[in-house]
């Protein structure tokens, strides 16, 4: 199964992808992980990506696609994979489609985890993280035993800058402008399946599994 996860930041698609990886034993692949791995291993593609990242620039689509396709050629991807966070734009999607078609392959499922913007802002602005051990909490859905303190190490919890309501709303604007058109793109391809992301994690997962049959 070749799967793409779609949905706004904070919709829970990463969590669902991890659960799918465990159940179906196919890797979850994110561009962030690919960039970090190539940079750490100092590959030629990694060096090119680092030159853009170090300047605070976006890695160009062509280079990002090369990195993704290199990762998809890995032995662990032979039975399928879950793309989480790529493609982000129509040009990236078109380039991915063309590259897969050259190998006689295609995306089987594009799963759109639908969550209204108001819910997203509430979810993400309520997140708290431990700056020491990285544990995550939520002021409504996953509270620590002692308010404001990490259960694991007792460190005072913080709200990340990109989880503030103002930043979340900016990220949603970018998502609707750039990434949401992918929903129409994959709908035209006949492989889009929308699931209700407002329910519990397990309920969303069950619906996704029912899509695969």
Q: What is the pLDDT of residues 55-88, one digit of tens each?
A: 877 788 899 999 999 999 999 999 999 999 899 8
User: How far is 77 from 60, CA to CA, in rounded Å?
Assistant: 24
**Residue 31 pLDDT level (bands cut at 50, 70, 90):** confident
For residues 53 and 59, the answer to whether their CB atoms sit within 8 Å is yes
> What pTM does this model have?
0.83
Kindly state the tokens that stand for 176: 């609707």
pLDDT band at 156 (very low <50, low <70, confident <90, very high): very high
Contacts of 153 (CB under 8 A, 6+ apart): 130, 132, 133, 135
**Active-site amino acid positions:** 13, 88, 127, 160, 171
């Amino acid at each position: 199964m070749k799967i793409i996860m779609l949905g706004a930041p904070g919709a829970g698609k990463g969590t669902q992808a991890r659960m799918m990886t465990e159940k179906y034993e196919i890797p979850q692949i994110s561009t962030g992980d690919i960039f970090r791995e190539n940079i750490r291993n100092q590959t030629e593609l990694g060096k090119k990506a680092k030159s853009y990242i170090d300047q605070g620039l976006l890695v160009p689509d062509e280079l990002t696609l090369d990195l993704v396709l290199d990762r998809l050629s890995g032995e662990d991807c032979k039975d399928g994979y879950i793309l989480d966070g790529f493609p982000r734009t129509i040009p990236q999607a078109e380039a991915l489609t063309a590259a897969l078609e050259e190998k006689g392959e295609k995306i089987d499922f594009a799963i759109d985890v639908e969550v209204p913007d108001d819910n997203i802002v509430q979810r993400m602005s309520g997140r708290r993280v431990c700056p020491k051990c990285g544990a995550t909490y939520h002021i409504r859905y996953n509270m620590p035993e002692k308010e404001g303190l990490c259960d694991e190490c007792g460190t005072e919890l913080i709200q990340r800058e990109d989880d503030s309501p103002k930043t979340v709303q900016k990220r949603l604007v970018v998502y609707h402008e750039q990434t949401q058109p992918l929903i129409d793109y994959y709908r035209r391809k006949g492989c889009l399946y929308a699931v209700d992301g407002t329910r519990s994690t397990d309920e969303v997962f069950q619906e996704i599994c029912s899509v695969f049959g």
